């Protein structure tokens, strides 16, 4: 089973849920945790991952042989991302805009364009306490996270449970991370901002056709509108985590919830059982 964990809003507790679920399940079944928040991965801190292998992630970008180029402008015209421009007799390539689609190479009438790899990040692999761990790190200044996320997800295993910690929001990196999941946990909080972004996340899951449910974190700090929204939309609330100073203090020290407060371990095991009921 592949379980993704997302949220419309940042700071709701996705990492708290992802790491706690992995640690709670590791003694009863094979578990792999994938941190797909490649712009700011931090799951490794909480699960004490020992990273033993690093591999490069690159996208193909065009290289123009100007001795062959006729400055016809075909490459510029077929590029949907404005990553290549013909200025007089010169051709400029903007690597940061290139999506590696290969159109310029395919349609160049004189075959003056070849593709060369452009590194945009790395994938790190290792082990945590009783399960496999993989994360991705996008190179600072690079705008395209999805290629790195795809490489992280390729390391996933078919046996057992794969838990994917997605980035906040509902943009392309989130869509790439949650795509293909059997179930998505939407972590939210009972505040106006939390409810607003939960609505966006729910719309995204429905568009993708992914079964989903909600976890309300920091319950007690806001109002009941988030619960009312879930009930009115038929979204199951699978778990509620109260606002508790002990959780915040342990989290700030890098201690996972199920280790700081062991009574939560069984609650996350029960959470998995409820997820399985909704999937089957």
Supply the pTM of this predicted model: 0.93
Residue 233 scores a pLDDT above 90: yes
Cα–Cα distance for residue pair 93/99, rounded to 1 Å: 12
Segment 118-147 mean pLDDT = 95
Q: Which pLDDT score, from 0 to 100, does residue 279 have?
A: 87
Residue 65 makes CB contacts below 8 A (sequence gap 6+) with 112, 113, 114
Q: Which pLDDT score, from 0 to 100, does residue 9 have?
A: 86
CB 150 within 8 A of CB 121: no
Q: Which CATH architecture is the domain 58-119 placed in?
A: 2-Layer Sandwich (3.30)
Domain ranges of the chain: 2-49+128-279, 58-119
What is the per-residue DSSP string for 108-152?
Answer: -TT--EEEEEEEEEEEEEEE-SSSEEEEEEEPTT----HHHHHHH
Share of residues in the chain with pLDDT > 70 (%):
99
3-state secondary structure of 82: coil
Phi and psi at 61, nearest 5°, equal -125, 155
Segment 204-221 mean pLDDT = 96
Q: Which fold has domain 2-49+128-279?
A: Rossmann fold (3.40.50)
Query: pLDDT confidence of 156, banded at 50, 70, 90?
Result: confident
Q: Which pLDDT score, from 0 to 100, does residue 130 have?
A: 87
CA 59 from centroid of its chain's CA atoms: 18
Q: What is the 3-state secondary structure (H, E, C) of 241-273?
A: EECCHHHHHHHHCCCCHHHHCCHHHHHHHHHHH
Q: Where is average pLDDT lowest: 24-28, 37-41, 155-159?
A: 155-159
CB 102 within 8 A of CB 80: no
Phi and psi at 70, nearest 5°, equal -105, 5
Q: Which pLDDT score, from 0 to 100, does residue 34 have?
A: 98
CB 69 within 8 A of CB 112: yes
């Amino acid at each position: 089973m592949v379980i993704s964990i997302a949220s419309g809003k940042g700071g709701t507790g996705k990492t708290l849920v992802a790491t706690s679920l992995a640690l709670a399940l590791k003694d009863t079944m094979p578990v792999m945790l994938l941190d797909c928040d490649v712009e700011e991965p931090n799951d490794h801190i909480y699960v004490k991952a020992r990273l033993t292998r690093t591999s490069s992630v690159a996208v193909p970008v065009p290289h123009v042989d100007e001795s062959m180029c006729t400055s016809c402008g075909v490459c510029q015209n077929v590029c949907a991302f404005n990553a290549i421009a013909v200025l007089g007799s010169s051709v400029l390539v903007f690597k940061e805009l290139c999506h590696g689609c290969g159109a310029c190479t395919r349609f160049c009438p004189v075959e003056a364009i070849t593709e060369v790899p452009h590194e945009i990040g790395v994938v790190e692999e290792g082990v945590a306490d009783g399960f496999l761990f993989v994360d991705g790190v996008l190179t600072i200044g690079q705008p395209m996270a999805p290629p790195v996320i795809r490489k992280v997800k390729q390391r996933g295993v078919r046996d057992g449970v794969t838990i994917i910690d997605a980035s906040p929001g509902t943009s392309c990196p989130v869509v790439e991370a949650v795509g293909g999941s059997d179930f998505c946990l939407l972590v939210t909080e009972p505040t106006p901002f939390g409810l607003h972004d939960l609505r966006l996340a729910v719309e995204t899951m429905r568009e993708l056709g992914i079964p989903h449910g909600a976890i309300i974190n920091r319950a007690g700090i806001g109002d009941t509108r988030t619960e009312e929204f879930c009930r009115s939309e038929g979204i199951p609330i699978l778990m509620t985590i109260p606002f508790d100073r002990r959780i915040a203090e342990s989290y700030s020290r890098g201690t996972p919830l199920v280790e700081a407060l062991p009574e939560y371990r069984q609650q996350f095991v029960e959470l998995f059982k409820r997820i399985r009921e909704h999937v089957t």
